[in-house]
Every structure is written in C-alpha cells, then in structure tokens.
Chain A
Amino acid sequence: MNMNSNNTRVENPKRGASHLLGVFSRKPWIWAFLAAGATYLATLVVVSTSAGAGSLLYAALTFASFSIIVGVGQMFVVTLGPGNVDLSIPATMTLAATLSLKFMASDPTMIVPGLLIAIGVGLACGLFNFALIMLLRIPPIIATLSASFLFQSLAIWSNRGLRIKPPASLADFATGGTFGLPNAAWVALLVSVLAWCVLEKTIAGRWISASGQNTRAARLGGVPVNAVRFGVYVGCAVLAGLAGFVLASFSGGANLNMGTEYMLMSIAVVVIGGSSIAGGNSNVPGIWGAALFMFLIVSMLNSYGLGAGVRLMLTGLIIVSVVVLASKRGRKV
C-alpha cells in the first residue's frame, strides 16, 4: 500500500534533505536498519568498550539469523494478502528439530540425513497446512493454528523430555563463525539471497506478488493461484524446519519451547521490515534490519536495566504503530 509513495519520483534531486527522504520512503527497509543502528548506538552508551561493541554485533547477528530464516518464510505467506499468516511456525520448528536430533542421535555421520529429515518434516507440515486450507476450506489462520497443536503434540510425544545433543561437529558449526560472521548468519544470508532471487528474478516471484495484490485479477491474468499458494505454504514450513534444525544445533538440543517466541517474531520482522501486510509487497533486506532491531532493542533495554515487561510492551507498541502508520489513510471501500 505504501508503494504509491515509494514510487513517486523525486522532482528536484538538488534539495538534499527531501531527496534523502524520498530515497528513504522508496526503500522502506532503510528505516528498519536506521532503527537497528540507533538502538545499537544507544546500547553502546552503556556498554562503552570496543570489545563489547563487537561482541554485541556478533550476538545480534547470531540471534537475528533464526528470526530471519522464519521471517523470510512468513514474508512469503504474508505477501499472499490479508488473512494469510502461518501460525504453525513454532510447532514446525520444534517438531523438525526434535525428530532430526533424535534421528541423528549425536552421530556426526548422520548430519546430512538429519538435515534432510528436518526439511522433510517441514515439507510434511506445509503439505498438511495446505491440505487443511484447500480441502477443508479452513481460513489459513485457524488451519495453521490447529495444525500447530498436532505438530506440538507430536513433538512432545517423540521428545519425551529427553534432550538429545546435536553431533559435536554440527554444534561447533552452528555456534562457530567464518570470516568474522557467525555461521548461522551465513545460513540466513543464503536463505535471504535465494528468497530475493525467487521474488525478483523468477516467474514464481511475479506470481506470488500478483496473487498477493489481487488474487482475482491474478487468476484472470493467467496466474495459477492455487499452485502459488501451495508453494508458499510448503516453502514457509520448510524454512521453519530448517530454522528449527539450526536453532537446535546452536542451542545444544531441541526443547519444547524453543519455537514459542518465533510465532510473534516472524510476523513482527515482516511488518517492521516494510513488507505490506495488505499483501503483494515483500521486502527481504527489511527483514534483516527488523530482526537486528528486535534483538538489539532487547539488549538495549537489558543494558539499561529494564525488564522483560517493558520490552514486551514496547515490541507490541512498535508493531501496532508500524501497522497503523503503514495503513492507507481512511477506509478502503
């Protein structure tokens, strides 16, 4: 919806400030990065040592990666338009992590099959979600919500309270870094680049965007809308499975609450990152900015000695105000 203003051309590039503003409003993801940067600096006031600054950034990138991976999946779903949200992401993450870790049983030779299991679980969860949406014609929110109950029960049942450690080499990989960046961030980067290519370069990307802007018009324009929905829901679940796998490897095992915070987080990063909740408009770089921002704001509030309560409140207020500000003025007819 905000693309109208995004695309308006700046008439007079010489006027510096307004030009800058024009560039910013055309690229909404800049705001997420600015917010992240500001939060970072505000935190540094308290942390103050240069070592602290580096490690804060490193930690931010590490933890943001998990939000980014699920956020990219959620972004595809949200792009499909109003009413499309995947609420089964946390359950899918937990289930994929639990089953794959159980299968690997800390055996380093089983890493690749373990990864495949995680992805396979995501695939199955996505298929189940889509079947509920298509065959039973349940609204996506309720379909993914009730499916998530089942996934969660499956995870509890298969886990039985045991905490199986990931294979040592996998754990080392997940917690380690390459070229100064955490490996988890590399995974997130890979996912993001792929997602960006899909959206910008492929026919499928065009179709997703078209379906999100106006499903009826897309169908009349020759877009196979059901296939698009199928791909998006399954893809989102696969990414959730992948995120669960990486997160469990990072944190030394799967646990039943590992996905909980990602239900809200995945939606928050999409909304704050500048993707339109009205559909059709997705924004991969914005997810990075938003994910970093969401982590940094927690650490900022922590370093200021403010508790979880204020953090949650602020998060909620930020999401609501971003949605209100991004909405079209007045009521759509």
Chain B
Amino acid sequence: MVENQNVIGTEEVPIITLGDAGVSFGPVQALKGACLSIMAGECIGVVGHNGAGKSTLVNVINGRLTPTSGDVSYDGAQSVADFRNAQRARESGIRSVFQELSLCPNLTVLENYRIPYRNMPIKGWRKNAASAVLASLDAVFPDHGIDPYSVVADLPIADRQMVEIAIAFARRDIDARLVILDEPTSSLDGAIADQLLAYIKKFCASGGSIIFISHMMGEIFDVASRIVVLKDGTIIENDAAQNFTRDGLVDAMGHVAPDDQTRGADTKRRDFGDEVLRMENGLNACQGEVVGLAGLAGHGQAEALAKCFLERTSDWSASRNPAVVFVAGDRSRDGVMPLWSIMRNLTLQTLVEFSRTFLVDRKAEQNIARTWHEKIGIKTDDLNNPILSLSGGNQQKVLFSRALASSAPIVIMDDPMRGVDVGTKKEVYRMIRSEAEKGRTFLWYSTETDEILECDRVFVFRDSEITAELKGDEITEENMLRASFEMQEAGE
C-alpha cells in the first residue's frame, strides 16, 4: 500500500480521466457527473448496490459506452466525444474481464487469446499464443494445470474464469496498463482467489492499474488502494482505502433512511396460514405471506423463481386452477407479447379459467380486462390498442393484472418494478398487501431495497445460496447489505 501511495503522489499523466461524465438511457440517468482519474499503480475498488451504476462506469472507461455528457480522455489526450473510444481504450492498454463469461466456448484457450489481440503477428502464432497464455497463467495462478490447447467448453467454470483473467493480463503488442475486473472471483475458490489478489498487488506495484469490482469486502480491503462508492449513478465516496471501515462502507452504499415509514406495524404481526411452498434451497412461504428475495442481482434469485414456477406448472397442459402465476420483470424477454393488444396480453394467463369451452369467451375476456383497467389504472382509452403503445410502467401493470386476475394461490414476481414510476409502485404495493391479506402468497424478488422492506420475510441470496433469512424488524437495509456482501477476510 505504501508504495502505491508514492505512485499516486507523482505527477504522472492519468491513464484515464472522466470529466463530469454522464450517461443516460432515455429518461434514466445511469451515471451522473462522474469525475475520476486513474494513475498508474493504483488499484481502485468499486462498490455499490444494484443499479448504482457500476457497470455503466466500467463501460464508459473501456469505451463501449460513449458518455452522453462530459468527457473521457485517455492518457491525457484531448477528448473527442465520438464512437471510437473503444479503440482508444484498447490503444491505451485498457482491458476488461466481464462478469458474464466472454470466451468462445468452441475455441481452445490459446485461440481465445487471439480474439482480443487485433494485430497479432501471423507467423507461428499458435506457438506464440500458447506460450503467452501459459506465461500469464503461470504468473497469475501458479500450479493452475490448464493446458492452453484444451477447448474452453471442456474446462470447469473456475478454469474458464482463470483463463479469461489470464488472457486479460497476457502480453500483446500493447501491454495491459489498466485491467478492469468485474467480480473476478465469483467462480474461484479461496486459494485461487488469493493467488489472483496477490498478483493484483504485484501488478500494481510494477506500475499497472486495476479496477476491482467485488461483493467481497475482504477482497476489496485487501487489494484496493482507493475505494470508489457508487450510489444511484453518482460517485459518493472516492478516497484512499485506509480511510474506510467495512461497516462505514456498507453505510455509505446504503440509501439514506427512507423518508416515509409508511409500513404499518400491524402488517408485521399478522399471522400467516400453513406453509404452502418449500424448495430444496430452503426457500419457503406460508399462505398470505409476502416473501422477499434480496441480494445483489445475478446471485441466483431469478433462477430460483423460474425453477419454482416451472416445477409447479406443465409444458403439456394448462390448468383451470393453476398453482402459481408469474409476473415478469424483464418485460421483453419474459412477459410482453409484442404483437398483441393490451387486452390479449392481459388475459393470456386466465384464458382457460374464464372460458368454459375451447373457444375464447370474448365477453368474459372483456369483463376481466375492463375490471383490471379500472382497478389498476392502466393509462389507455382503448384496451384494443397494441401493448407497445403503453409506457413501460403501464405495460408492467398489464402483466400484474394478467397474474392477479388468475385464481392461483401463489404469485411469483421477478423484479417486477423495473422502470416503473413511484406512483405506480405505491399502487402496486397496496394491491399486493390487500391480495396477501385475502390469503395469497407472494414471492417477490427485487433489486430495490424499499420494495424488500415491504415484505414480511426476506431471504438474502449470495452465490445462488441463501445466506440469511430476515424476519420482522431484522429486515433492514443494513442487514441485507451485510448478507449480500461477503464480510469475511478473503479466502477464509
């Protein structure tokens, strides 16, 4: 750490400087006025809750996103806001290892090294590539035992992640100067993760820079010389690592205390019925309960919900009394039928329930649609308009109606409030409450803390496992963050 401090002190040109950079997708501001410059030899730990803007920040740095406001300059060069930042980033030696594996599974390890290497000398390339990857693997993960000639698909997932990291550090025509590691240890076991952390320290000591994103507090404090905390698209803290404590970091990440504590105490003490659902991983729910699934995004919550739904429904027949219904959050992938009208989208789930025969009962369909149109306030004057004419929030209301119109006793909700305005959210919370009081059970995965605070009981997921079950007054943002982030020392 001490050496790193010295490097920061010297008057070098930063590898990258973000000057008030902002990125907005339509009305959503994913990154606001980010100012950050990274010097050689620094290891920047980046932490933040879901949707804080971590991946947006990273993508601006590696040039895949061009900021919509402010500027980015590589190696102190005059910045130009055009679409060639990805090339500039490559030429400045910025490389990324993404959370989702970005190797070609059908190629061998050494062939995957060739793909990011644009100007590779052709002569004897296989040999050179093999030795380059091997050298890098040896340097980062001693005793790795990976053959550079093996096909990636044949490797276990941990080996694949090691290969990906090694390729990012491997020598090329332009050497790696800033390597972005997004959750690099997610598939690695403790000892191998330690090797990586040791290598990161060595890399920084020799003048390289790292951006290190992790949910493991221990790792962050182990390697980072500086820590950047993101919240709601803004960099709220940017300071040397020794000025933080673990608890302080969690506090910084968390939201300010919610301004309205509207949750009635009575809902908390409500009695629930019998247990209606139990899964292998320990997830369970009682009748009339609102069960929350929390944790950082991508830690197995969505998979658990999908499994829960698919196990309880059939590919071959539709039931008049379905056991579960599903409310999708990723509307275009899991929910909306883009060619259909609002009404057809709304009634898809309940077709067999309201139709007596194999024909669609148009009258019943219209009644249901009209009922929900009023009940949930879908903003349209004609239910026969195409679903895509609605705003995202209203499309989401249609998906809610689709599920709630059913008689199913269990409702599964997969982060259903993405892109929904506050007013709608309040309405939906109220509706969920009243349905739960009538005896329906809700499984609710959400990436937003104030939604989880609405739940009666919360399961926190980390690495596809349940790490905490919170009840009543234990349901606080702090407890959730603690359970979502690995608070232990790295490798213990």
Contacts and interface: CB of A to CB of B under 8 A. Distances in A.
B344 to A, nearest CB: 7
B337 A223 contact: no
A125 to B, nearest CB: 21
A154 B344 CA distance: 44
B338 A220 contact: no
Contacts of B306: 220
Contacts of B394: none
Interface stretch (B138-146, B194-202, B310-318): B310-318
Most A-side CB within 10 Å, residue of B336, B338, B339, B344: B339
Given A213-B340, A280-B339, A223 B318 contact: yes
B309 interface: yes
A217 B334 contact: yes
A-side binding surface: helix, strand, loop or mixed? helix
Interface in B88-131: none
Interface stretch (A198-206, A241-249, A302-310): A198-206
Contacts of B349: 221-222
A214 B337 contact: yes
Interface residues of B, number: 37
Given A221-B349, A224-B314, A227-B315, A209 B333 contact: no
B335 A203 contact: no
Contact of B388 (A4, A9, A225, A226): A4
B314 to A, nearest CB: 6
B358 A204 contact: yes
A280 B348 CA distance: 14
B407 to A, nearest CB: 12
Contacts of A48: none
Contacts of B326: 220-222
Q: DSSP class of B's interface residues: helix, strand, loop or mixed?
A: loop
A284 B283 CA distance: 48
A207 B348 CA distance: 8
Interface in B133-167: none
Contacts, number: 95
B322 A222 contact: yes
B435 to A, nearest CB: 18
A319 to B, nearest CB: 22
A70 to B, nearest CB: 24
B318 A224 contact: yes
B402 interface: yes
A226 to B, nearest CB: 4
A203 B314 CA distance: 17
Contacts of B338: 3-4, 213-214, 280
Contact of A221 (B316, B335, B360, B386): B335
A280 B345 CA distance: 13
B317 A224 contact: yes
B339 A281 contact: yes
Contacts of A18: none
Interface in B318-367: 318, 322, 325-326, 328, 333-341, 344, 348-349, 351-352, 355, 358-360
A303 B316 CA distance: 52
User: Which residue, A4, A209, A217, A226, has most C-beta atoms of chain B within 10 A?
Assistant: A217
Nearest to B306: A220
Contacts of A214: 333, 336-338
Interface string A254-282: 00000000000000000000001000110
A7 B326 CA distance: 28
Contacts of A204: 358
Given A203-B352, A213-B340, A280-B339, A222 B358 contact: no
11 contacts: A4-B338, A203-B351, A203-B352, A203-B355, A203-B359, A218-B348, A220-B326, A221-B335, A221-B348, A222-B313, A224-B314
Interface of B: 306, 309-310, 313-318, 322, 325-326, 328, 333-341, 344, 348-349, 351-352, 355, 358-360, 385-386, 388-389, 402, 406
A-B CB proximity, top 5 nearest: A226-B315, A7-B386, A3-B339, A220-B326, A222-B349
Interface of A: 3-4, 7, 9, 201-207, 209-210, 213-214, 216-227, 276, 280-281
Given A3-B386, A214-B337, 7 more contacts: A210-B337, A219-B315, A224-B316, A226-B316, A227-B316, A227-B317, A276-B339
